Amino acid sequence: MLTISNELKNTKGYIHSTESFGGVDGPGIRFIVFMQGCQMRCQYCHNPETWFLRKHGTWRTAEDVLQEALRYKSYWKNGGGLTVSGGEALLQIDFLIALFTLAKEAGVHTTLDTSGQPFTRESPFFDKFQRLCRLTDLFLLDIKHIADNKHKKLTGQSNKNILDLASYLSYIGKPVWIRHVLVPGITTDKDKLEELAVFIHTLKNVERVEVLPYHKMGLPEYERLGIPYSLKDIEPPSTEEIALAEEILKR
C-alpha cells in the first residue's frame, strides 16, 4: 500500500495555474487547478494559452498540488473543496486519478470541470475513467452546442462522444451540473436551445443547469499569442437572450 501511495503522490501533470478562492466552479469556496492541454479550439475560449500541453505548463506532482490546496481547507465551508479544470483535464487522466485519490484520502470534495472531448468507451481510457468517476463527487460538463455540425464549426470537434459521456454519467448516477455558453448568433438559436433542453431532460443526474454569457475578456490573450480571434465583432448576449435561454434550459 505504501508503494502505491508513493506512486500516486509522485504522479505528475502539466499545470497551467491555480486559484485559491474560486466561487463559481462547484459548491462553496473551491481551490481550482487549471490543467494544460485541450484538443478543442472553441472560438470563444478565454484562455488559449491552455491549449498546448507542454508549452506553457509547470510539471508538478499530485502530492505537491494537493498540499498547496490543503492550505486553504479552512475556507471550504458549505461543501467547498477541490476543482480541476482546464484546458481539458481528461487529457491527463492519470494525474487526475492520482490527485483525486489523495484528495479523497484527505476528506476533500472533488469536482471535475470538463468539456468531455477525450471521452471514449474504448480501453484503456474507459477503464481509467470508471476509476476516476468513483473518486469524483461532481462533474461540471460543458455542452457547447447540441448540433454536431455546428459543434464542429464552433470547436473543431464532434459532440457525439461528449453527449455519450453525459449519458454515461446519467447511467451511473453521478451528479452533474450542465453548462452552456451563450454566444449571440451561434448558440442562441431557440430551436437548438429547445433541442438541448430535450437532451438534458433525458438525463437523470442533472442537479443544475448554468447559462454562461459570452464575454470578450480573453481577447488580449489572443493578441498576445498572435492568434486570430474570429468573434471579435460579436457582443455579449442581451438580457433578453439570456432570459430566454435560461427559461428554456432550466424549465
Render each residue's pLDDT in the chain as its tens digit; 251 residues.
444 578 889 999 999 999 999 999 999 999 999 999 999 999 999 889 999 887 778 999 999 999 999 999 999 988 899 999 999 999 999 999 999 999 999 999 999 999 999 999 999 999 999 999 999 999 999 999 999 999 999 999 999 999 999 999 999 999 999 999 999 999 999 999 999 999 999 999 999 999 999 998 888 889 888 999 999 899 999 999 999 999 999 98
Helix (H) or strand (E) holding 82: strand 81-85
What is the tally of structural domains in the chain? 1
We report the CATH number of the domain holding residue 85 as 3.20.20.70
- Cβ burial of 216 (10 Å; 0-12, 13-18, 19+) is middle
Residue labelled with grid coordinates 462553496: 28
Cβ-Cβ contacts under 8 Å for 189 (sequence gap 6 or more): none
Full residue range of the structural domain in which residue 131 is found: 2-249
Global pTM?
A: 0.94
